[in-house]
Structure 1
């Protein structure tokens, strides 16, 4: 466990004087600034200067946040999970095609530019900080990384964004900054991440307070993810007719971008500092419950150590019968049948493969599946602790509910069609604390398994299937508990074509990275949203008869709507009004 004293020391260092926080927390490119006296007071004090940096970490997980919108995250805005039927929830608006410039969420735009402005104030004053040159370089590397991280977060939402470099807008200066092209944004952020990586250490010593901060590997891994996005069909298939300034695409397609992404991901692998977590019988479950840095961690947001954060995911994911155990109620989103069907049999074969041994819909449909299924989704009969009752089945069925204690009758509050139960027949389990006690753990924003999958995808797109791609996929599937099989391929087909390998990699991403803020963006960058999002989501209706037998039926839950414009987000109208040079995202 992280030393509580160490953590508090880091956290307290982030308590920046009120005058500095107030100056940073303003709207996009806010003109109100610190006075020169205030800036000197901060940056001539090393502790306060460190506090400025720590404050920049405070929104690292903004986009990743599993409760970003009314207790839902972006997984509830695509085919990964279904939010409750409340049209006011922003994720519901997204998936129903109801977002426009007038109702667009402005939180991300405002917060990220607040962070950029704070970073620019640091960059202006860094030479005044009374620390050694080595410490100053290390701090500068963190600030440049975090500024690039926030700008990349904006880029994937909106396309080309205003690039202001180190500029700080002061006093009565007019603010009217146009959006840069997507290509210019990629060039700038690549340069910034490379510069940050050159200033950051490779790794940290165990017990060092700096273990909670970013490293060289984090900067290179974020660059690799960004270049993967930049190589993908959404932006790398040529210009759009309604986008003459190329805010949303490169001017032309270039397959060499896949090589750049492949090289960048391989550079992270070559560092030799990361490995897959294997320290338990259910590694993908326990990885997310670790409260000390792990070799699989690449970029982690260490939240403040509070009870609310201990049960942060559970607040919107736990079944009602389990939520009451920790004082939480109000489950807000539910995994879809589409996600559940992606999980293979334990022999690594898809359930649609006649050779897989999948018995079909019925009593045994969840048995002998990829072990990641139970670590990710809880279905009817999955075991989950229930307070003083101990380990008990999760009951999601409808029909005849037996009499007995709360564990026996839990379908009355968790079951499909009840007012407090599941919409789809499933509950999320990934990242949830399965025990009854409090548990502090961070948000794992990037991990090594993603780096391997990023490398696999980019390498396949440029070179086609290679031995190293097979090796990366086998590592992930072996760690998951998939059986090696006679050919040692963990269910993978030998001699795949480029197209077959592409499908295998996309499938592996959906299973391995579920609920980690990937599916929403993968759908978009692959340009498959018309197939996945202009469609119905489904659930599993299980009905219990009086004699205790069950019947099963796949049911439609809700039809999603997707239009071409929705590949990117609209800039809030309030921001366009304040900055006339900004142009709205094409299509809105």
Structure 2
């Protein structure tokens, strides 16, 4: 994967001039040059990797009930408070995804003519893998395009985006109508299936006896030839396993309430696609024991080149950085405190016995609200008088504090909610300009926990809390395992979960809450609220002010940010400029 950026540079060097000629000639190389230059050809494919839509920072979370930003110029803050329009959309995927799809279509239209090797068998293996990558990447890019721009029209049709499977040229018809949402889903699934057929499940060096039968029949008998194409050095690129996970994501979206009336994808389909991925790690028994803290020091430092944590299906490259910490550490640790978790999210964490804090059986004490809580609360959020940073500094956020960590003390630095972000960051980073200590980070593009929660959601809808549809585990089994891993309900056999396992509606709320907690600050919440079509999208973001007037802490909930989403915003817009240019491009209702 580290070579992909280098390949991209080669693509950028398409044009050059030779000053030996008078006048100088332009050496604009055509696509046919790729046929005998595999590096050039891979450079075209590399663009689709560079344009992948994943982010390692919690951008969209500040537009949900999970967080706010203390940066008044934040575009997601503007969006959430009433300034979201079809020509001002920080969530737009239109240009980036379509650019990537154009590169992929160019590659697919020419890949069969590339001489990857003079050995025909090795050439076939290269061609299979690289075509598989292109189909898989097109499925990813199309999924994010559909996620951001699919929606209902004024006349009640659920539309997706124009499907493009051929490269566009100067003579192409650009005034294309949108395909239906279902047609887009069908195209994504078709691309995914094609990719799964062509790609290895995983990349890795193998022995002679492990050569896949389809290549044995072509005469491959030396594992070295196979490893040259699909060995360890390819780790990080898209694989069959990754594409199976993307297929499950697409099915979950399609079966969800905001889309289900316009598709033929069922909850059972979504559960089965997720189970395909999970069965490969033996279902619930394969849930990574430390999967909830995949980002911490001990989980990152020991990863070999290209290797994955047991929690990770697909990740970005590991790199030295300090950006997350500089942006989100409290000001006393030389951070900007940008992402402020809300009281809404804090209240979603149960007590350690597994009961919601609204249940009398939880033992929740409003006068001591952070005691005996779900351990994930302390792992993901900095609460008043907890520790953070390389020297484990105590962060006083209450109004009795003496520095800018105090709630609303300094605009653009202090928290607005009474909380700071902990998840995703490394405590051994030090933004102090005297040290500026960077550490290793990576973006988790797809996690197993996400797929477990997708299965639990779909299985509960399809077969009820304890039904399994023929699989070896149910929604109940998944949620029990995730909560056990988190350290809640251990002393009482998770009595709350046991009390709701016969109630599909209550189990639905529990599954959604577990998804909220496990995937917080990973840019999932906004899309989940929209596909569930629930009222939380417009919920006022709240915080907690903590005073100490006479030696005792007084906790006072406060309203922080009024959200202003309209009903039609459960589906995003087609960019206004595109609607203005193309008469056949129909806008989603309300925009």
Q: Same fold (TM over 0.5)?
A: yes
* Contact preservation (8 Å) 1:445, 1:516: no
Alignment check: 8 A CA contact 2:352 2:489 kept? yes
Match for residue 38 of structure 1 among 20, 30, 49: 30
Once the 2 structures are TM-superposed, how far is the Cα of residue 336 of structure 1 from its aligned partner?
A: 0.6
Alpha-carbon shift at residue 295 of structure 1 (Å): 2.0
Check 1:194–1:559 CA distance in 2 against 1; reply closer, same or farther (3 A cut): same
Query: Is the alpha carbon distance of 1:279 and 1:571 closer, same or farther for their aligned partners in structure 2, counting shifts above 3 Å?
Result: closer
Residues 189-235 of structure 1, C-alpha deviation per residue, up to 9 Å, x if partnerless? 11111111122211233892222112212111111111111111101
**Contact 1:398/1:541 (8 A) holds in 2:** yes
Counterpart CA distance in 1 for 2:369 and 2:417 is 16
The answer to whether residue 45 in structure 2 is matched with residue 53 in structure 1 is yes
Deviation at 1:21, TM superposition (A): 10
* Partner in structure 2 of residue 74 of structure 1: 60
Point out where structure 1 has 5 or more consecutive residues left out of the alignment.
Answer: 1-6, 23-33, 67-71, 239-248, 402-408
Secondary structure of 1:393's counterpart equals: strand
Out of 558, 561, 575, the residue aligned to residue 561 of structure 2 is 558
* TM-fit CA distance, 1:300: 1.7
Matched, 1:345 2:351: yes
Question: C-alpha separation between the residues in 2 aligned to 1:179 and 1:314?
Answer: 42
Checking the alignment, whether the CA contact within 8 Å between 2:92 and 2:148 is kept in structure 1 is no
* Distance verdict in 2 for CA 1:581–1:269, change over 3 Å: same
For the 8 Å contact 2:145–2:161, the answer to whether it is kept is no
| CA 1:262–1:106: 2 relative to 1, 3 Å | closer
The aligned counterpart of 1:16 is 10
RMSD over aligned Cα atoms: 2.7
SS at 2:84 equivalent: coil
Match of 1:457 in 2: 457
1:226 matched to 2:218? The reply is no
Aligned to 2:482: 476
Shift of 1:490: 7.9
Q: Within 1, Cα distance between the matches of 2:454 and 2:538?
A: 26
Distance in 1 separating the partners of 2:586 and 2:451: 34
1:507: Cα distance to partner?
1.0
- Within the candidate set 302, 309, 333, 2:317 is matched to 302
Residue 434 (structure 1) shift? 1.2
Matches within 5 A, 1:309-458: 310-322=321-333, 324=334, 329-360=335-366, 362=367, 364-386=368-390, 390-399=391-400, 401=401, 409=402, 411-419=403-411, 420-436=413-429, 437-458=437-458
In structure 2, C-alpha distance between the alignment counterparts of 1:579 and 1:369, rounded to whole Å:
54
Of 54, 68, 86, 1:101 maps to 86
How far apart are 1:317 and its partner, in Å? 2.0
Higher mean C-alpha displacement, 219-228 vs 411-420: 411-420
- Aligned to 2:186, the other structure's residue is in SS state helix
Q: Mean Cα displacement is larger for which, 173-182 or 113-122?
A: 173-182
TM-score with structure 2 setting the length: 0.82
Matched, 1:506 2:509: no
Go from structure 1 to structure 2 and tell me whether the alpha carbon gap of 1:279 and 1:261 turns closer, same or farther (over 3 Å shift).
closer
| Cα distance in structure 2, aligned partners of 1:221 and 1:150 | 14
Q: Is the 8 A contact 2:382 2:422 kept in 1?
A: yes
Q: CA separation of 1:558/1:379 partners in 2, compared to 1, >3 Å: closer, same or farther?
A: same
Deviations along 1:96-123, one digit per CA (max 9) or x if unpaired, are: 2322223334862111111010001100
Q: What is the distance in 2 between the residues matched to 1:229 and 1:259?
A: 13
Q: Distance in 2 between matches of 1:198 and 1:265?
A: 18
Residue by residue over 1:510-530, the C-alpha shift from the partner in whole angstroms, topping out at 9 and shown as x without a partner, is 1111111221111111110xx
Which of these residues, 261, 269, 276, is aligned with residue 260 of structure 1? 269
* Structure 2 portions without partners, runs of 5+: 17-25, 117-122, 151-158, 206-230, 430-436, 467-472
Distance 1:182 1:202, change over 3 A: same
The residue matched to 1:412 in structure 2 has which SS? Answer: coil
Would you say how many aligned residue pairs link Structure 1 and Structure 2?
A: 523
> Normalising to structure 1: TM-score of the pair?
0.83
- Structure with larger Rg: 2
Distance 1:118 1:368, change over 3 A: same
Counterpart for residue 74 of structure 2: 89
C-alpha distance in 1, partners of 2:30/2:551? 71
Aligned partner of residue 251 in structure 2, secondary structure: helix
Q: 2:114 aligns with which of 95, 110, 129?
A: 129
CA separation in 1, counterparts of 2:519 and 2:105?
A: 33
